[in-house]
Amino acid sequence: MHPNCYHFIQSKSEYKEFIRFHPSWYRTLNRHPDSLPQFVEAARQYHGQTFPQQLERWQKNINTISMIMRLLK
C-alpha cells in the first residue's frame, strides 16, 4: 500500500476498523491510492457520520423526548 494511504488509515481507529471489515477497500487502495476520498466517504457512511444520518439520529431523539413529555402530562 502507498505509504501516505497507510499512514492516513492508521491515523484514525474508524478507518482501521472499516478496512478490517471491508478488505475490498484494501485492495482498491493498493491499486488506486487516489481513491482515498471515496474510502473516507464510505467509512463515514458505515459509521453513521454523514449529515443525513446525524440528522435522523437527532430526530429520533427529539421524538423520544416528546413522547416522554406527552406521557408525563
pLDDT tens, residue order, the chain (73 aa) = 789 999 999 999 999 999 999 999 999 999 999 999 999 999 999 988 888 888 999 999 999 999 999 999 8
Which pLDDT value is given to residue 8?
A: 92
Which pLDDT value is given to residue 49?
A: 84
Which pLDDT value is given to residue 22?
A: 95
State how far the Cα of 65 lies from the Cα of 72, in Å rounded to an integer. 11
State how far the Cα of 68 lies from the Cα of 59, in Å rounded to an integer. 14
Which pLDDT value is given to residue 1?
A: 79
Which cell numbers hold the place of 31? 491499486
State how far the Cα of 16 lies from the Cα of 67, in Å rounded to an integer. 38
Say if CB 43 and CB 16 are below 8 A apart.
no
